[in-house]
Structure 1
Amino acid sequence: MKFRKILVLLFAVCFFQSSFAQETASNENGKWQVGLEGMLGVSFGKNFYSVNVGGPALFLTLTKDLKIGVGALPSLYSLDGKLGARLGVSPRIDYKNLVLIAPFFHRDTADEWIGSIGIGYKFHRKTN
């Protein structure tokens, strides 16, 4: 019981000490920016095509203009003349505003993966 009280007291002291040690960063120029970024692409495979939008992605920035990564691509697709919506997973290479994608889609009914390759355009809009 005494050990538990000491542990709670130690935790409380550390918690309160760290909360007072925080500093808020001040923006000296008083301006802030809001930006939008997105990607729209198309990809093609065997009896398959899709229109993709850029979803969440994880990137490794190699240079200012070149990034490689993997991401999720919400997509509208056509497979053998049937339309549907599916989430694809894709490695991607971004060079300036052009994006090379290779999305893969899983079909639950057939338990198979559908591969495709495509290209996209990345757009940016910044407002003050």
Structure 2
Amino acid sequence: MKQLAVLCFFLVLNLYTQKLRAQSEPQSPDQKSNWNVGMEGMLGASAGKNFYSFNVGGPSLHLRLTKDLKIGVGALPSFYVRDGKTGAKLGVAPRLDYKSWVLIVPFFHFDKTEVWVASAGLGYKFHKKA
């Protein structure tokens, strides 16, 4: 484990020094940087009866109805609070996307009790800036 941490440290250090070297070299006006930092994805929150979750948009399938409107279904990796206890769970959710806003209705299955818990919430999609 320690060897893996050292390997990761040197890999990150190598990438960082390459980035610094690239910044110090003069660039022509039409040459673009290889690095592009931005946030892409969806963050959301949903609530149900004695249940709250904070979601990150996972893989999903969409049907585009108009330029700004899509419907679909997706997986939602989530942190939840249920009856005062916390955990992490993968939910499945139908979703309605309008521009950058997402209406989600995630369902979560709890194996011990064989119960599906439903919630409803809202998410915001971050788009990569080019």
Q: Are residues 1:88 and 2:91 paired?
A: yes
- After TM superposition, give the deviation of residue 111 of structure 1 in Å: 0.4
Aligned to 1:53: 56
* Aligned counterpart, 1:20: none
Q: 1:36 to 1:61 in 2, by over 3 A?
A: farther
Q: Which structure is larger by alpha-carbon Rg, 1 or 2?
A: 1
Is 1:101 the counterpart of 2:107? The answer is no
Aligned length in residues? 97
Normalised by the size of structure 2, how large is the TM-score?
A: 0.70
Percent pairwise identity: 69
CA deviations over 1:63-116 (Å, ceiling 9, x no partner): 110000000000000000000000000000000000000000000000010000
SS of 1:120 mapped into structure 2: strand
Structure 1 CA distance for aligned equivalents of residues 39 and 97 of structure 2: 17
**Runs (4+) of structure 1 moved beyond 4 Å?**
none
Q: TM-score, length-normalised on structure 1?
A: 0.71
Partner of 1:71: 74
Q: CA RMSD of the aligned region, Å?
A: 1.8
Structure 1 unaligned runs (5+)? 1-30
Relative to its length, the structure with more strand (as a share) is 1
Matches within 5 A, 1:1-128: 37-127=40-130
